[in-house]
Amino acid sequence: MEQHRIGVYVCECGTNIAKVVDCAAVVRAAEVLPGVAVATSYKYMCSTPGQEMIAADIQEKGLDRVVVASCSPRMHEPTFRRTIRNAGLNPYYLQMANIREQCSWVHGAGAEATQKAIDLVHAAVNRVGLHEPLESRTVAMCSNTLVLGGGIAGLTASLELADAGYQVYLVEKADHLGGNLARVDLTAPYLDSAQDLLRERIQRVANHPRIETFLGTELRSLEGYVGNFTAAVALAGGDGGSGAGNGSAAQSGDGGGPGRWALEVGSVIVAIGYKEFDASRITHFGYGKLPNVITSFEFEKMVREGRIQTAEGGQPQYAAIVHCVGSRSQEFHAYCSRVCCMTALKYAHELKSAVPGCYISDVYIDMHAFGKGCEDFYRRSSEVKTLFLMYGKNEYPVIRKADPADDCGLLIEVNEQLSREQIEIPADLVILMVGMEAREDSGEVAHMVGISQDKDGWFIESHPKLDPVATTTEGVFIAGTCAAPKDIPDSVAQARAAAGRILARIAKGSIEVDAVYAEIDEEACSGCRICNELCPYVAIEFDAEAKRSRVISALCKACGACVAACPSGAIRARHFTDEQIFAEIEGVLA
């Protein structure tokens, strides 16, 4: 094996690694490994001083390979690749040893954790000498963007991109724009008009020369890769809908027939929103059987129509608002829907304003007043004499029809947690704060655009903290409540962040494609198509004429599924060759 000059850099990660792993011992063990010219540790290798240390050693000590023992490569491998590239080395001459997630975070302090870190570093040193000088390539970037969903997130993202001078295709499955926010009267905590907020954006979208709107339309397929997608859209359900709005794609794209369009785009933003929980699934509440038990959106409709009344047509003397209907429940959804608490307080204000003599009970599990101005809103709600009553998590208040002798239409039985008493609350109108859940078509959309969902059906971001709008499919971004329950400010911020990411790519004019991908030796390929069926990123195409499979390198994520499955051994993963993996195993076992 060619003798290399390898630098080994052990990150202490503050105390994340150093409190469990003896970093000095790892450095001493690395110093004596063959080919290691430099071994040192630093508090934060990803910091600017840490990166400068690596770059200086490359230039001054002639290093030709670098090993960084730190956190997961998913977190900082791009950081250190940039560092060594700027110092004059091929960026793929780097190997990371994960001694945080795979070592310090899963073991207690002691010799065993340190020994495991030493073994991981040994494996990385063994492997890095076999790394090849791979070169990434660039592909042209189409500046058009497809936005799925015409709610507040989709409208915001569309306007951000179009105002920057780029074409946007906005596809909305419903026959109108606005999403769920179009069903809301006022917004908490400042009681601003949701309709005014939406109206301005919808008018701008409708009149914008660079936004083409497709109403009553849905995505049918998405092919291609980042910077070069072809989206097929068609009228929802195969008929109906209004089709194209104010642009030219409908006229210019053949799309396969009437009511179908083919759109050439470089990026996709998925902002399809959420659906409300079906309150009839919880029988304790009597929704669907007791006419004066309504959902939050049904109450919104009452408010927008200017009438708050019972099914019998009278004004409610007693009203009750029940939180967490379908949320924070092991039986339905364990997560919090986030917006319900402040919306419930908003309803108390609206009820008091419309029916000043109404007695209001607010029945909650926990009061989440997390946003700006929300704690003050909670305080103001208590000052208007709202009665707050707490019930237990995974318990249900029971709503039943009141007896004729009672001074109300309904009674709510609650095991009240603060008083620890079983009490009955009078009500003429009960508002159920239904939670958010993923749309029924979210699985179909996820499959078409190549992104993942969590156990609750929400779309999964690339990283929940560091990359909350990107997905595992390059060029596909998520925004708004299709990713998780969130309020309007968070949805708008996420939409603008997604638009910003796309604009940054458009500004470069081209896309850099990672040099790590699978390659198929067409001479050895038998054309069995096993790899085509296995690839989770749809990155392998089959040439029917040549009867051979080929990898679309821009789509490949180097997961290795095809490499392991190929019965002919015709597929090789760049940067994950058999020789490199065996060298890594030998290093761990040495």
CA dihedral 115, 121, 127, 132 (to 10 degrees): 170
Mean pLDDT, the chain, rounded, equals 93
In this predicted structure, the answer to whether residue 251 has a pLDDT above a threshold of 50 is no
For the segment 528-556, the average pLDDT, to the nearest whole number, is: 92
| 102: in domain | yes
Among 436, 463, 488, residue at a domain's last position:
436
In this predicted structure, the answer to whether residue 243 has a pLDDT above a threshold of 70 is no
If asked whether residues 36 and 100 sit together in one domain, one would say yes
pLDDT at 43: 96
Confidence of residue 238 (pLDDT cuts 50, 70, 90): low
Among 80, 109, 134, residue at a domain's last position:
134
User: Structural domain tally of the chain?
Assistant: 4
If asked whether residues 184 and 259 sit together in one domain, one would say yes
pLDDT at 411: 97
In this predicted structure, the answer to whether residue 256 has a pLDDT above a threshold of 80 is no
SS3 label, residue 564? helix
CA angle 261, 452, 542 (to 5 degrees): 60
For the segment 289-303, the average pLDDT, to the nearest whole number, is: 97
pLDDT at 297: 97
If asked whether residues 153 and 14 sit together in one domain, one would say no
352-398 residue pLDDT tens = 999 999 999 999 999 999 889 999 999 998 888 899 999 998 889 99
If asked whether residues 119 and 156 sit together in one domain, one would say no
| 587: in domain | no
Buried b / exposed e over 362-383, threshold 16 CB at 10 Å, is bbbbebbbebeebeebbeebee
If asked whether residues 328 and 211 sit together in one domain, one would say no
If asked whether residues 198 and 154 sit together in one domain, one would say yes
pLDDT at 257: 62
| 174: in domain | yes
pTM for the full model? 0.85
Alpha carbon distance 58, 65 (integer Å): 9
- Which residue range forms the structural domain that includes residue 553? 518-574
Q: What is the CATH number of the domain that holds 367?
A: 3.50.50.60
In this predicted structure, the answer to whether residue 248 has a pLDDT above a threshold of 90 is no
For the segment 532-548, the average pLDDT, to the nearest whole number, is: 92
Q: What is the DSSP string of 60-73?
A: HH---EEEEEES-H
If asked whether residues 258 and 325 sit together in one domain, one would say no
If asked whether residues 432 and 442 sit together in one domain, one would say no
Among 379, 403, 436, residue at a domain's last position:
436
Lowest mean pLDDT segment, chosen from 83-97, 142-156, 230-244, 473-487: 230-244
If asked whether residues 124 and 54 sit together in one domain, one would say yes
| 324: in domain | yes
Top-confidence residue, 504 or 537:
504
If asked whether residues 208 and 191 sit together in one domain, one would say yes
SS3 label, residue 438? coil
If asked whether residues 75 and 36 sit together in one domain, one would say yes
| 506: in domain | yes
If asked whether residues 332 and 345 sit together in one domain, one would say yes
| 557: in domain | yes
In this predicted structure, the answer to whether residue 252 has a pLDDT above a threshold of 60 is no
Confidence of residue 536 (pLDDT cuts 50, 70, 90): confident
pLDDT at 190: 94
Q: What is the CATH number of the domain that holds 10?
A: 3.40.50
In this predicted structure, the answer to whether residue 253 has a pLDDT above a threshold of 70 is no
In this predicted structure, the answer to whether residue 555 has a pLDDT above a threshold of 90 is no
Confidence of residue 3 (pLDDT cuts 50, 70, 90): confident
From the number of C-beta atoms within 10 Å of its C-beta (0-12, 13-18, 19+), residue 480 rates as buried
In this predicted structure, the answer to whether residue 266 has a pLDDT above a threshold of 90 is yes
Lowest mean pLDDT segment, chosen from 110-114, 436-440, 485-489: 110-114
| 383: in domain | yes
| 177: in domain | yes
Kindly state the percentage of the chain with pLDDT values over 70. Answer: 96
